[in-house]
Amino acid sequence: MAQYPDLKLFIAGEWRTAGGAPVINPADETTLGTVPHASRADLDDALAAAQDGFRAWSRTAPARRAEIILRATQLIRERVEDLAVAMTLEQGKPIAQSRLEIIRGCEIIEWDAQEGRRVYGRIIPSEPGMRHSVLRQPIGVVAGFSPWNFPMSSPARKVGGALAAGCSIILKASEETPAGAVQLVQAFADAGLPRGVLNLVFGVPSEISEYLIPQPSVRLVTFTGSVPVGKHLSALAGAHMKPAIMELGGHSPVFVCDDVDPASTAAKSVVGKSRNAGQVCVSPTRFFVEDAIHDRFVESFTQKAAALKIGNGLDPAIEMGPLANERRLAAMDALVTDAKAKGARVTTGGSRIGNRGYYYPLTVIADIPDNARAMREEPFGPLALISRVRNLDEAIEKANAVPYGLAGYAFTNSARNADLLAERVEVGNLSINHFTASTAETPFGGVKDSGIGREGGVEGLQCYTVVKNVSRLTA
């Protein structure tokens, strides 16, 4: 029997238990454990600990900070098999994807730790006798909120950035997939991270965010989740004059130009779309396919999607697991029903598989009209929407017509097309001829409703710092 860890809060360097809510395995709807809910007193203790932790950690040499952080990721790498099983149990993704996510989480934290040694300020040339020095300092206590779709790599983004910059953090991870964060924090505790630098809480999300964000000691808010919640938390942060990093939803366009092979592009697209059952903010969703190859692309996509092996992610042969919660099943059904009523053609999938476990097939919807709800609302699930376009201009216009602007993808062999897309598509991350939206060293984030700020890369680390200009009369 696979192992699922005890779920606890981590406050001031100690694990605490509390009553809470059940965690459900989406593959069979059984209960895996109970996620503890933090009380007001727990949150107050976490705030006090994080202030103490900040004082100590911000004054620790960057090289020493990196040493402790890298010891933690080494422990995570050694524990990857156990961590992957727990992640698949609570989130549903295939075990191979869980392993990859854990390694990717380590890569993110490791890159941040190493880059944390190079958070340079600068000297501004000035008149003789005056010295202007620009210091980049850690911003302070961070309140981080991570979602249920990436239980390890999303907390890794927030913890990695904060700790590498010299900040302390109170992480409120997802109550639906808490084990990833618990195991991440355990590794930092085992690595000797000083008490209070990293604190982990769970509870009712709105109650925790509304209590923590206004607290004077909290100096930065970072959230990954939906656009409506992101707008609410940004407003709350703004009301208290705090910067916010918001990684929100997306509705990624995929431009399929008529100079590529439709069958191999469709095969890659099925792999990209089925990743984490489409529950990814950068999931490829709106496929704009040029007329000349449209029919062959739809045919290949349909065949490959129908052949996907769907089931319990603990089975290594499985290619797509269940959806993570029951809400996603209802959301898929509503969007498919609406698209069909508006004249779209479902070429494969379209309804729940079985009645135990939240299984839903990769569903291909062709001839989808622009006014279908799925074309404007983020499906956040395994729906591939395929539209026929006359040319790239039409595709770009349609792609930019939604309020989202997170990731985009394009398949073309033409440098001219690639340049045009790079220039005109309104997204934070554009990937040409592949489906990887970001890596540890590249800045990741959105434009328009998809968010503000960046995670990853030099830009991501800078979000955890403030700038101070010190001018000194030297003569």
Catalytic site residues?
Answer: 247, 281
316 Cβ neighbours under 8 A, 6+ residues apart:
94, 95, 96
Among 88, 149, 183, 276, interactor with ligand NAD by CB under 6 A: 149
Among 174, 183, 312, 347, interactor with ligand NAD by CB under 6 A: 174
Whole-number minimum distance, CB 146 to ligand NAD, in Å? Answer: 7
**Span from 128-136, 180-188, 221-229, 256-264 in contact with ligand NAD (CB under 6 A):** 221-229
User: What residues are paired with 44 via a beta bridge?
Assistant: none
**Span from 10-18, 53-61, 245-253, 453-461 in contact with ligand NAD (CB under 6 A):** 245-253
Q: Among residue numbers 43 through 72, which ones bind ligand NAD (CB under 6 A)?
A: none
236 makes contact with ligand NAD (CB under 6 A): no
Query: What is the 3-state secondary structure of 387-446?
Result: EEECCHHHHHHHHCCCCCCCEEEEECCCHHHHHHHHHHCCCCEEEECCCCCCCCCCCECC
Which of 360, 364, 334 has the alpha carbon at shortest distance from 348?
Answer: 364
Among 9, 11, 152, 248, interactor with ligand NAD by CB under 6 A: 248
234 makes contact with ligand NAD (CB under 6 A): no
209 makes contact with ligand NAD (CB under 6 A): yes
Q: Which is nearer to ligand NAD, 233 or 293 (CB)?
A: 233
Q: Among residue numbers 264 through 293, which ones bind ligand NAD (CB under 6 A)?
A: 281
249 makes contact with ligand NAD (CB under 6 A): yes
Which tokens hold the place of 261? 């092979």
Single-letter residue type at 228? P
- CA–CA distance, 403 with 321 (Å, rounded to integer): 30
User: What residues are paired with 353 via a beta bridge?
Assistant: none
Whole-number minimum distance, CB 210 to ligand NAD, in Å? Answer: 7
Whole-number minimum distance, CB 160 to ligand NAD, in Å? Answer: 16
Reported as type and span, the H/E element at residue 385 is strand 383-389
Which tokens hold the place of 215? 């607290």
178 makes contact with ligand NAD (CB under 6 A): no
Neighbours of 24 (CB within 10 A): 18
404 makes contact with ligand NAD (CB under 6 A): no
Which of 146, 170, 66 has the alpha carbon at shortest distance from 111?
Answer: 66
**Span from 4-12, 229-237, 419-427, 432-440 in contact with ligand NAD (CB under 6 A):** 229-237
Whole-number minimum distance, CB 254 to ligand NAD, in Å? Answer: 18
The angle that helices 62-78 and 179-190 make with each other, rounded to 10 degrees, is: 130
238 makes contact with ligand NAD (CB under 6 A): no
**Span from 21-29, 59-67, 228-236, 431-439 in contact with ligand NAD (CB under 6 A):** 228-236
Which of 405, 352, 342, 406 has the alpha carbon at shortest distance from 373?
Answer: 342
Which of 419, 395, 437 has the alpha carbon at shortest distance from 283?
Answer: 437
333 makes contact with ligand NAD (CB under 6 A): no
Question: DSSP class of residue 9?
Answer: E
**Strand, helix or coil at 201?**
strand
371 makes contact with ligand NAD (CB under 6 A): no
431 makes contact with ligand NAD (CB under 6 A): no
108 makes contact with ligand NAD (CB under 6 A): no
378 makes contact with ligand NAD (CB under 6 A): yes
| Residues in contact with ligand NAD by the rule CB under 6 A | 145, 147-149, 174, 205-206, 209, 224-226, 228-229, 232-233, 247-249, 281, 327, 378, 380
